[in-house]
A and B are shown apart, each in its own frame.
Chain A
Amino acid sequence: MFGLTRHLQKRRRTVQLTGEIIASTKADEASVDAVVNQPELYSGVQARSAAKQRSRAAVESGQARFGFSPFALAGAAMIVLMAIAATVLWRKDRSQPQSNSAAIEQSQTEQQVEQLASFGNGSDKAEKPRRKNRRPAIRRAEIVSDFMPLTYLAESTEVESGLVVRVRVLRSMLVRMGLPINAEITEETVLADVALGDDGLARAIRFVN
């Protein structure tokens, strides 16, 4: 008897809880309906959808216009960059002087300034303030020959003052000047200091190693 009563009480409690759950579910559905029926929600979804469509169209039109996918474009750019890098290395290896206009341009670049600055350091580097920490070691590396006269001058008529200029010169040019240079390697260049009188006359040359 006591067990039956207990069972009935349990069942009643279950029914009551079920009713509460159903009631709460109905309340949620109502609030969801309220949210869904808001006009802002619809316009938001519509805007998102439109944006997605636009981005897809942009990608498709890009492909149609250039015939490349973004991956292909990235690959092409990478190859071009590699080609440029290879060219820079290739030109660096070449020790010949550049064409005249190119030489002018090059001498005006910051790189040339860097090269000129390290005169006295064994490399044909150009004029720019040098870094202190590199200076002593580099300077010791330069070896210069004595000046060799390029022409005959009488003391009574020579222009005594002038300046020293540093040049990179083809060996063939030195052969033409009458200097004893190995004619088989005339296409190579050498670094040299040329003493020019104020009259513009090249008086003497020395070589820099």
Chain B
Amino acid sequence: MKTRSLMKLAAAAIIPLFFVATPRAQNPTAQFLSGEMRFGDKIVKGAPFSAEAISEHTQTLSDGSRLTSRSTARIHRNSEGFNYRDQEFNPLGLLAAPGDATSAANMRVIFISDPVARVYYRINPKFRVAFKIPFEDLPPAPGTGANPAAVTESLGKKMIEGIEAEGTRSVITIPVGRLGNDRPLEIVSERWLSPELQIVVESKHSDPRMGENTYRLTNIKRREPDASLFTVPSGYRVQEDRNRFNSGGASPRSRKPGN
């Protein structure tokens, strides 16, 4: 009886150890931690709208298989230039684990910009916290480095979702040998910009090294959004969050909201 009890005791101790000590088989390439801050937003007054933004990233591997990821956002702007963006990350394009469309974490962050008070709110709905950041503390838009010369052409105008947009197409050619490439690589970008709303309505970016990225606005509604969208919801804790982006990343082309 005593021996049997001891054996059971040993089993009870060892079995949990076996489960917890087994290394995880998955080894994803990236783990999303947080959405930090926006950059490059403009203050546009007198052009309110609401829309849904959809971005998709597709990459075809050498064996012919395709990796696809999709992110969405709900955006609103009022006549005073307040912006609201409810963004979901899933996944982060290139940072997705190969072959696994769910590799980056599903995360949701809401950004509200208040051009009157000149502050941004970064809201974490899960934890009901709003971080208040002055405009002057926002990060500069990161530069894209010294690019090879781009060939740009106009694509004219067209209506997208009831909005008139002007198209531009650019082609950047990476010459042979620059990246060890045995033939020229062409990076093609298209952008359809609404002059009236001052927003990109549709875009496409194709890079043979990274795949294709598409973006489009859908369900565009030209009306004043609900004013409550531009305030921190009640019950949320507001906390000052300053000086987080003051080091590094400066770019000659950097721009802050309102500038």
Hey, which bits of chain A sit against chain B, CB under 8 A?
67-69, 72, 75-76, 79-80, 83-84, 86-87, 90, 96-104, 107-108, 110, 112-113, 115-116, 119-120, 124, 126-129, 139, 142-170, 172-173, 176-178, 187, 189, 191, 193-204, 206
Contacts and interface: CB of A to CB of B under 8 A. Distances in A.
Contacts of B37: 163-164
A167 B39 contact: no
Contact of A164 (B25, B39, B190): B39
Contacts of A97: 28-31
Contact of B144 (A90, A104, A149, A163): A149
Interface of B: 1, 4-5, 8-9, 12-13, 16-17, 20-21, 24-42, 53, 55-57, 71, 73, 87, 89, 92-95, 97, 100, 102-107, 109, 111, 124, 126-127, 129, 131, 139, 141-145, 147-148, 150, 152, 168-170, 172, 174, 179, 187, 189-191, 200, 203, 205, 207, 209-210, 213-215, 237, 239, 243-245, 247-251, 253, 255
A99 to B, nearest CB: 3
Contact of B93 (A124, A129, A196): A196
Contact of A68 (B5, B142, B205): B5
A170 B203 contact: no
Contact of A146 (B36, B244, B250): B250
5 contacts: A83-B16, A107-B107, A162-B40, A163-B36, A167-B95
B5 A67 contact: yes
Contact of B249 (A69, A113, A144): A144
A161 B42 contact: yes
Nearest to B138: A164
B105 A151 contact: no
Contact of B21 (A80, A87, A151, A154): A87
Contacts of A196: 92-93
Given A147-B142, A156-B150, A161-B39, A200 B215 contact: yes
A203 B40 CA distance: 13
Given A157-B189, A206-B249, A200 B56 contact: yes
A146 B9 contact: no
A194 B38 contact: no
A86 B19 CA distance: 13
B33 A152 contact: no
- Residue of A67, A84, A167 with highest tally of chain B CB at under 10 A: A167
Given A152-B144, A163-B87, A168-B30, A199 B215 contact: yes
Contact of A163 (B39, B147, B169, B244): B39
